[in-house]
Amino acid sequence: MGIADDDIAKVRQSADIVKVVTEHIALRKVGRRWVGLCPFHNERSGSFSVNAEEGLYHCFGCKASGDTITFVREVEGLDFVGAVEKLAAMSGITLRYDNQKQGERRDRKKRLIEAIGQAVAFYHERLLSAPDAGPARAYLKSRGYDGETVRRYQLGWAPDAWDALAQSLSLSDRDLKDAGLGFVNRRGRQQDFFRARVLFPIYNIGGEPIGFGGRKMPDADGPKYRNTSDDCLVYDKSSTLYGLHWAKSDMVRAGDDGEAIICEGYTDVHGFAAVGFDRAVATCGTALTEEHIKILTRFAHRLVLAFDADEAGQSAAERIHQWETTYELDVRVADLPGGHDPGDLARTDPEGLRRAVDEAKPFLQFRVDRVLGGADLSSAEGRARAARAAVTVVRDHPSDLVRDDYLQRIADRCRVDVERLRKMADAPADDGPPPLEPNRPRRVERHRDTAEDEALRLLIQAPDEIRAGLHPVLFADERHRAAAMALLEADSVHQALAVVDPDLGDFIRSMAVADVDAEGEDLLARLVDLASQRMLDGLQAEARTADDPGSYAEPVAWLKHRMEDLRERDTRTKALDDLLPWLIEHGEERRP
């Protein structure tokens, strides 16, 4: 694992889970806990709960649970060490590594990211002040970029020189290459990777700089964009989304399900932000991948594609439909006015850009409308061709209910018999397997609170009120008893979580984030009363089949009398003092 255990414990203790979680979702205080919409599944009522004192979270809907480190790992796509390092940096904690090679790898990654950060500052300053960046400044101004926007996104200028950055940074040949900033040329000299390009720094989900996208000047030769190579050790374009570290907070605030806008270019992200949509991200010179989708589902379940209209309708349709099903997504398409890209529309038609997002169509509807909208429906032949083409589009969808709804729409518009379209859709496709049925949503089981639930919650959240009088014998349910044993034997909740199995750990975390209203003595009396009743039932059952039923008369009478005292306020304390030791002594052997 690599990081010293003491340092991990220090990070857990220092991290403010409410502060960390609210970077991604909105929380509100309810009693002792904080609640909000779960970032891990699609929901409309807040079932996600946080215990600030213990640093734990639990979702009563999808059952996701963990501590601050787990939350950062899941939401930001980091491994364990990466999550600890991020939280340590937030708390100002210096980590020690118990594995030298592991520590060296982490130190090297940190060094590379720091080098990229220095490059961001170098290129940004060149754009702001260097004489040779004058044409780049003029170009950006013509695209609607003022000084504030340039500074917000830290845009830069790579000068038309062989090694301006390399000389500034003085990195080793290996670090220059692995940071994606340069290479060693045929003459054995360091050379910059980017030259004569406007640069858009790319950050990971945690806000660390990991690469660049470089756009050539309009009159220059070469490809329009050049991105950091995947050879860079800290950059992977298939799992990187430009702007995500800015956009993730706005995504979770956008409606009940959260919404993300996906576009193609860096300037498109800036254009959406300019019209009030701060939830846009862009793929970095690659097609949308399933890894991108997995990352986005942590923040949103409504995805609006803002690609070129025809491209959005034709590319990866089968994969997108399958993603809709697998990840329970609502994928829509923004029909951009006049085929313009979002960056231009933000300047020329901002209201049209906003409307395109607000009125985005479901993905399949968009594709069907494109087919029928471009067809000649004035003749029988034209309607037949349009219907056939539209059925081909609908066939891609994995849900038979959705397919049938669209087939009826096509039949109405093309004035053909829907049964003929159904037969056509059911015929085997030439280019792929039959559609798959969608996954069924997981059923959420309802749990009725018991005195044992309340006791565990109080033991976790206010242990001084109940710990001294609590004992596993008071718990009839096996899972509750196991949780009580772990908590009573440990010095802290986190110590208990470290020794139990994952399922029991999830259960303990669910208890840690739920409200508890009972007072310690009242709750202890309820538990003792219930345990005494179980003991009484057992004794009476044994007496009915015993050779000497009379031998049970005295303990049964004593137990009934103590239970009566327990239920009276004036005699409750004395009854507890009598019953608890007796139950502990005799209870285990009679436990159901």
DSSP per-residue codes, 488-506:
HHSSSHHHHHTTS-HHHHH
- The pairing of beta strand 225-227 with beta strand 28-30: unpaired
Residue 269 one-letter amino acid: V
Average pLDDT over residues 125-140: 96
Instruction: List C-alpha distances in Å: 398 to 317, 335, 342, 367, 433.
Output: 11, 24, 31, 15, 11
80 backbone dihedrals φ, ψ, rounded to 5°: -60, -50
Provide the token pair at 164: 């301006």
Highest CATH level, class, for 241-308+317-351 = alpha beta
Give the number of C-alpha atoms closer than 13 A to the C-alpha of residue 296, restricted to the C-beta side.
Answer: 36
Range of lowest pLDDT (21-30, 68-77, 154-163, 439-448) = 439-448
Instruction: Report which DSSP code applies to 432.
Output: S
Which residue type does 49 have? S
Q: Residue 102: what pLDDT?
A: 61
Whether 434 has a pLDDT exceeding 60, the answer reads no
In this structure, are residues 425 and 403 in contact, taking their beta carbons and an 8 Å threshold?
yes
Residue type, 356: A
Q: Report residue 486 as tokens.
A: 């772990």
- What residue type is assigned to position 291 of the chain? E
Q: What are phi and psi of 135, to 5 degrees?
A: -60, -35
User: For residue 242, what pLDDT is reported?
Assistant: 95
Say which CATH class 5-91 falls into: alpha beta
3-state secondary structure of 438: coil
Query: b vs e for 327-348, b when ≥16 Cβ sit within 10 Å of the residue's Cβ?
Result: bbbbbbbbbbeeebbbbbbbee
CB 301 within 8 A of CB 329: yes
Same fold, 5-91 and 241-308+317-351: no
Span 548-575, average pLDDT: 85
Q: What is the reported pLDDT for 314?
A: 52
The pLDDT tens digits of the residues spanning 78-94 come to 778 888 988 998 888 88
Which residue ranges make up each domain of the chain? 5-91, 100-235, 241-308+317-351, 451-590
Weakest-pLDDT range from 71-80, 157-166, 465-474: 71-80
Query: Which CATH superfamily does the domain covering 100-235 fall into?
Result: DNA primase, catalytic core, N-terminal domain (3.90.980.10)
pLDDT at 133 over 80: yes
Buried/exposed code over 210-236 (b: 16+ C-beta within 10 A; e: otherwise): bbbbbbbbeeeeeeeebbbeeebbbbb
| Confidence check: pLDDT of 205 > 50 | yes
